[in-house]
Structure 1
Amino acid sequence: MSDAGLKSLVEEELEFEPRVNAAHIGVAARDGVVTLTGRVASYVEKVAAEKAAQRVRGVKAIAEEIEVRYPYDGARSDEEIAMRAANVPEWNMSVPDAVKVKLERGWVTLSGAVDWQYQREAAESAIRQLDGVIGVTNAIALKDRPKAADVKKTIEDALKRNAALDAAAIDVMVTNDQVRLSGKVHSWHERRIAEQAAWSAPGVKAVDAKISIAA
C-alpha cells in the first residue's frame, strides 16, 4: 500500500470514530509508520484517535504526538484530580484498592501491585477518563502467582478459540513467567487480541509481542 493510500485510510477511520474530532488531527504516513499530530480536548479523545489508527490494515507502528488541551472550564487542579482518582475503586469493581495514584501537572502515575493484567488495564482506562488528565504512566506491578501447569497450552487454546485470529500463524514461547509471541497477523487489532490472550493466562508477568503486521 502506498503512503498516500494509508494516510487516506487512517483519516477515514478517524472520521468514522465518534469520539474523535478528526478536523483537529493531522496524519502522515511513511513505510507503514503513521504519525498523528494536533490538539484534542481530552485524554480520552487522544487514546481513541490512537486506537482508531491502530485498527487500520497496513499500519505497522504509530508515532503519537497529539497534545491534550482542555477547554478553560475543563481544567482541573492536581488535588481535584487526585481526589476523584482515589474514589475510582468505589465505583469500578475491576480496580482494587491497592492501586496508588500520583499527580504532577495533570499527568497521572499509577503504582501498586495487583493480581491480574485486566486490573492494570481497568485502572488506566478509568483514570484516563477523568477531566484534567493529560497523560497516564501505568507502573502497576503484577503480584507473583502460582504458575499454571502448562501456560503455553493455555495461551494456544485461547488463540484457537478466537474466531478473529489464525492461531496457526502465531508461535507461543514460555520461559518461567515470561511469554514471547511471534508470527504475522493482518492487522494491529489482531495483534492486540493475541497479546491479551497471553496476558489472560495465570502466572504470566510479561508478554513480549514480536508479532508483525502483514503488508
Structure 2
Amino acid sequence: MDDKTLRQEVLNELEYEPGLDAEHIGVAVERGVVMLSGHVNSYHEKMLTEETVQRVKGVKGIAEEIEVRYPFEKKTADDQIAERAVNVLTWDVRVPEDHIMIKVERGWVTLSGEVDWHYQRLAAADAVRKLGGVVGVNNRVTVKRRASSGDVKRKIEESLKRSAEMEAKAIEVSVSEGRVTLGGHVNAWYERRLAERAAWSAPGVAVVEDHIKVG
C-alpha cells in the first residue's frame, strides 16, 4: 500500500471511531510510518487516537505529537486530580487495593507500586487517564516475578499458537528473569500488538522488549 492510500485509510478509521473528534488531528505518512499532530480534548482521546491508528493495516510505526487542550483552558488542581485518582482506583475491582502510589505534577500522573499481573498495571493507568485535568500518565508500576523463564516462554508460545490472526512460527521468543524479548516479523501492526499482549499475559513478566518487524 502506498503512503497516500494509507493516509486516507488512517483518516477514515479516525473518523469512524465514535470516541474521537478527529477534526483537529493531522495525519502524515512516510514509508508506512504515520505522523500524528494537532490537539484533542483529553488524554484519553490522545491514547485512543494511537490505538485507532494501530488497527489500520499497513501501519509500520507511529510518531505522535498530539497536544492535550482542555476546552476553554479548563484546568484542575493537582491535589484534586490526585484525590480523584485515589477514588477511581479504589472503585476499580481490577486494581488491588493499597498497591498503587499516586503522584501528580502539573497534570502529569505518576503511578508506582507492585502488582501480581500486567493487566492490573494496565487497568490502573486506564482508569486514571480518563480523569479530567490529566495531561499524561507515567506508569511505573511493576509486576512481581513468579514463574521460571522456561515456563514463561512455553506459555507465551502456546498463546501465540492459539491465535488465529497471526503466524506464530514467524515470531521468536526469549525469556530471562522476567524480561521477554520478541523478534521475527509480522504483516501488520496489530499483529505485533497481539504478540505483545500474549507476552504480557504470561505470569511473572516484568518487561517486554518488542523487536518484531512489520512488513
Name the CA distance, whole Å, in 1 between partners of 2:210 and 2:64.
20
* TM-score (ref. length: structure 2): 0.94
Does 2:156 align with 1:155? yes
The equivalences for 1:173-192 within 5 A come to 173-192=174-193
Which string of whole-angstrom CA distances, capped at 9 and with x for unpartnered residues, describes residues 49-90 of structure 1? 111111111211111111111113853211111101011232
Q: Which residue of the partner structure matches residue 26 of structure 1?
A: 26
C-alpha distance in structure 2 between counterparts of 1:186 and 1:140, whole Å: 31
What is the SS of the residue equivalent to 2:195?
Answer: helix
C-alpha distance in structure 2 between counterparts of 1:181 and 1:192, whole Å: 11
What does residue 171 of structure 1 align with?
A: 172
Q: Which amino acid aligns with 1:201?
A: A
Change (3 A) 1:73 1:178: closer
Equivalent pair of 2:89/2:128 in contact (CA under 8 Å): no
Amino acid at match of 1:190: E
Gapped regions of structure 1 (runs ≥ 5)? none
CA distance in 1, matches of 2:69, 2:195: 34
Shift of 1:149: 5.1
Deviation per CA, 1:23-42: give whole Å up to 9, x if none: 11000111111111111111
Kindly indicate whether residue 70 of structure 2 is the aligned counterpart of residue 87 of structure 1: no
Aligned to 2:72: 72
How far residue 184 of structure 1 moved from its aligned partner, in angstroms, is 1.5
Please report the TM-score for the alignment, with normalisation by the length of structure 1: 0.94
Structure 1 equivalent of residue 35 of structure 2: 35
Q: Within 1, Cα distance between the matches of 2:33 and 2:73?
A: 35
| CA distance in structure 1 between the partners assigned to 2:130 and 2:74 by the alignment | 12
Q: How does 1:103-182 map to 2 (within 5 A)?
A: 103-147=104-148, 150-182=151-183
Gaps of 5+ in 2: none
